Amino acid sequence: MKLLKYPRLVQDQILNYTVYSDLFLLSLLSKKMKNLIKSYQVTRFKHITSIVYDSYTIDHPLVHIGCRPFSILKFSEYEETANVKFQLNISGKMIDFQSSDEYYCPVALFHPHERESVIESIHNYFLDFFETSVEYHWITNNYKISIPRLKNLAVCIHMFIPRRFEDMKNLDNFFSSCPVLKSIDIDFYADESLSPESESRLYQAESIRTTQFDQKTPAVLRNFQGRQAFLMYFACDVSDLIEFVNRWKSGEAFRKLEYLTILIYREGIPRDETLNSIGARHIDATRKPPTHTVRKSYIDNPFKPMTDPIMSHSYVVRDSDNRVASVLIEGNTLSFGVWDKTEEEFLRMVD
């Protein structure tokens, strides 16, 4: 059965039904095959938002497509019983593979000393095959396993730091050596703080979700420089919320911010007092305000790719560029959604 003898439309349809792990292997069979896949599968590849090195709860990553269960390959250390099924030259490096019934994809094997070089060779191949318009994410919850320095790689961390945590030095080393942080999801209860360098890495993440006792350690509400923040504090002074909004309004901080939500467990947020203090403006109560929602920078749940909608009659305006942010205070939560609109443009959207 000569695949290359089929008409183009048939080849295209067959490749559409070929799973990613087989496409990956197929592309390695010849230059012609790789080019054919790349040109025929353009539309399919356009739908890939990210290639994920999923090292969450496993030591060596499983590489899959976005948040879908389409695996491409798995990395694994050699074991004594390793049964090498085939060998491939990938980006100039010979790599042994075995097959896996557990992950339904080929498994790339490495000795501990060559972990980084094997992962890098395959990553470089992905950059060529899927191209650089795709985002490459490394997901982990284990600060004890180093993350290789790979081109275009952003890191997504899920971590729980308990109150009695005695390995802060290693955690600091992990953060300070981490490549670009795409997202961090951290439950931080430790008495001891992270080092200023590590904290600054957290604040630079594109998206942050934290659960912590108060807003002071780490001080995300004051120092965040990314696009989206989902904060949960046991306690938080209203004055800190007001300070946050006022610093955004003045343009001195949070220039990249698109969405922020703060939930305070202990008590509700005094709505009117807070809105007065931040100098909120209001849309006529009889009219319908526009709904703010943005695509999440890091999608952990494919069924919830957008931020929770904010529909509020209250808003604030940034002094420097007249940009608007909707402000919604409901019970224990303050939601803040920044529009890419001036006040005039924003008000034109009001029904």
- Bridge partners for 98 per DSSP: 107
Return the SS3 of 126. helix
Nearer to another protein, 25 or 145 (CB): 25
Least spacing, CB of residue 55 vs another protein, in Å: 23
**Cis omega (within 30 of 0) for bond into 302:** no
Token pair listed for 140: 């982990």
Least spacing, CB of residue 22 vs another protein, in Å: 5
Nearer to another protein, 31 or 47 (CB): 31
Q: How far is CA 238 from the centre of its chain?
A: 29
Least spacing, CB of residue 102 vs another protein, in Å: 12
Least spacing, CB of residue 31 vs another protein, in Å: 6
Residues forming the site for another protein (CB under 8 A): 1-4, 6-7, 9-10, 13-19, 22, 25-26, 28-33, 85-86, 88, 97, 99, 104
Nearer to another protein, 106 or 226 (CB): 106
Is there a contact between 217 and 188 (Cβ–Cβ < 8 Å)? yes
Distance CA 101, CA 120 (A): 25
Nearer to another protein, 29 or 306 (CB): 29
Least spacing, CB of residue 254 vs another protein, in Å: 49
Nearer to another protein, 72 or 324 (CB): 72
Helices (H), 28-114: 31-40, 42-46
- Which position has the token pair 């050699």? 78
HSE toward the beta carbon, residue 167, CA cutoff 13 A = 11
Nearer to another protein, 98 or 207 (CB): 98
Of the candidates 247, 264, 267, which has an alpha carbon nearest to the alpha carbon of residue 318?
Answer: 247
Least spacing, CB of residue 36 vs another protein, in Å: 10
